[in-house]
Amino acid sequence: MPRRFRRYLPLLLALLVIAFGLYKLRKGIALEDFHWNVVAASLKHARISLMLLSLVAIYGCYALRSLRWMRFCRSLGSLHFANVYKSTLMGFTCLFLLGRPGEPIRPVLIARKDSLSIPQMFGVYVLERVFDMAATAVVAILALFSIKRGGLADNLVITSARSAGGALLLGLVGATGFLIYFRHHGARWLAARMDAPSWHQGWRAKVVAILQGFSEGLQGVGTWADLGMATLYTMVHWALVVLVYLWILDAFGARFRP
């Protein structure tokens, strides 16, 4: 296979997947009630300044994600902010176009651009997701407890929602505990289980390399300073996300009422 063809093969496959998705959705998108004049009228009366502020904040969120990723990778190798930022933008673009199947693209792009291990980047990806899950759980719990109770039916719904939030928090604590254990003992456990010579030949050797790289990626939080910086990046990022939603609502004349 010519090198030039192999170079453009991933792009061709991505375009085919997008074309197939659009073909499957051609009858699932109802545009009968969609009118461009309504969109134009909404934009005419919207506060453009808040929309531009939201746009800047969105790209600021991607910058914070890139800085957090680089913090996680301090012990794994050198990363350049421009490469991580571009890969982050491309990764979330693919996620928007392809849905969840586009999730692996971002860690692969970051690994390729700075010549790092792909399994390590997937370990960092899992670590990033844990911080994001923790932040979204906190936001969800705060939102649930800020809702004012109304009638009996509302009270039942709110009670059920808060119970679900509590279950989510417990699950998150359990997953975090497992990752902390794996971070401190996972490498030794893998070494002890895979010390046999048979695990260093053929396909088993590849499995060992992937698991070891994944374990190393999960060790991105090595010190209290790393934990503090990652937490700070996460808090600022998700605070901006909440503000973007509020600014967009305000830009179109809506008001958030807890």
Residue 75 vs residue 249, higher pLDDT: 249
Distance CA 167, CA 144 (A): 13
Highest mean pLDDT among 31-35, 41-45, 190-194, 228-232: 228-232
pLDDT digits (tens, 9 = 90+) for 147-158: 665 544 456 766
Residue 162 pLDDT greater than 50, yes or no: yes
Reported as a pLDDT band with limits 50, 70 and 90, residue 125 is confident
Q: What is the mean pLDDT of residues 40-60?
A: 86
Reported as a pLDDT band with limits 50, 70 and 90, residue 68 is very high
Distance CA 80, CA 109 (A): 13
In the chain, helix, strand, coil percent, each to 5? 80, 0, 20
pLDDT the model gives residue 27: 57
Reported as a pLDDT band with limits 50, 70 and 90, residue 81 is very high
- Could you tell me the two tokens for 221? 């939080």
Residue 86 vs residue 77, higher pLDDT: 86
pLDDT digits (tens, 9 = 90+) for 209-249: 666 666 666 667 777 788 888 889 999 999 999 999 989 88
pLDDT the model gives residue 148: 62
Residue 2 pLDDT greater than 60, yes or no: no
Cα→Cα distances 241→64, 138, 257, Å = 11, 13, 18
- pTM of the prediction? 0.71
Residue 199 pLDDT greater than 90, yes or no: no
**Burial of 221 from C-beta contacts in 10 A (0-12 / 13-18 / 19+):** buried
